[in-house]
Amino acid sequence: MDQIKVLDKTFKKFIHFVQIQEAIARIAAEIDRELYGKNPLFLGVLNGVFIFAGDLFKMIQTPCSISFVKMASYRGTESTGKVHQLIGLQEDLTDRHVVILEDIIDSGLTIEMLLEHLNNHHTASVRIASLFFKPKAFKGHFSIDHIGIEIPNEFVLGYGLDYNGFGRNYRDLYVVTKDEDELVR
């Protein structure tokens, strides 16, 4: 489908599933090269990361484990500017190599909060891997170690990303189209 309707918004196909899988394979190869044999813990930020994390985890060759935290900063198509941690860590991270997995990094607020939380856990290292990255929206003060695909600062959904809880199930990435009212302005 080249165009889809989700709730009150129309989206057009932006990045095909094959390109997404190629980006994930590249990230997996980078992580394997850098952390092979170091027993990394992948820490996925829910909800959107579940598809990316599952596909990446299947491609990783080094022995590892995975866990998830749930944090939220979006309402509709806009970031609220506030991050709420909903579900915390249960694992002992002392001397573990941690790879934070994000479906998308835009402002970076979610990762900033998570990094602050991890500072007290005496990790061996912390790396960040994001499938999608919006450099023009980024306000963070951290580096991203693995970026799948850089995208413009537009609202996207599919491949785990949603609009008010809907649209995560599409395998391609879609970008919101401009409404006729917006084009007149």
Q: For 135-185, how does the pLDDT look when each residue is reduced to its tens digit (9 = 90+)? A: 999 999 999 999 999 999 999 999 999 999 999 999 999 999 976 344 332
Q: Say if residues 182 and 31 touch (Cβ distance below 8 Å).
A: no
- Can you give the pLDDT at residue 125? 96
Q: Is residue 176 part of a domain?
A: no
State the catalytic residue, choosing from 55, 103, 106, 172: 106
| Count of structural domains within the chain | 1
Q: Is residue 160 part of a domain?
A: no
The chain-wide mean pLDDT, for the chain, equals: 89
Q: How far is it, in rounded angstroms, from Cα 134 to Cα 123?
A: 27
The 10s digit of each residue's pLDDT in 83-136 is 555 567 788 999 999 999 999 999 998 899 889 888 889 999 999 999 999 999
- Can you give the pLDDT at residue 70? 85
Q: Is residue 62 part of a domain?
A: yes
Q: Is the peptide bond before 47 cis (omega within 30 degrees of 0)?
A: yes
Q: Could you tell me the residue range of the domain that residue 98 belongs to? A: 17-151
Q: Is residue 52 part of a domain?
A: yes
CB proximity list for 171: less than 8 A, separation 6 or greater: 17, 20, 158, 159
The CATH number of residue 34's host domain is 3.40.50.2020
As given in the structure block, the two tokens for residue 86 are 């909903």
- Can you give the pLDDT at residue 88? 72
Annotation says 145 is catalytic: no
Q: Is residue 108 part of a domain?
A: yes
- Can you give the pLDDT at residue 90? 83
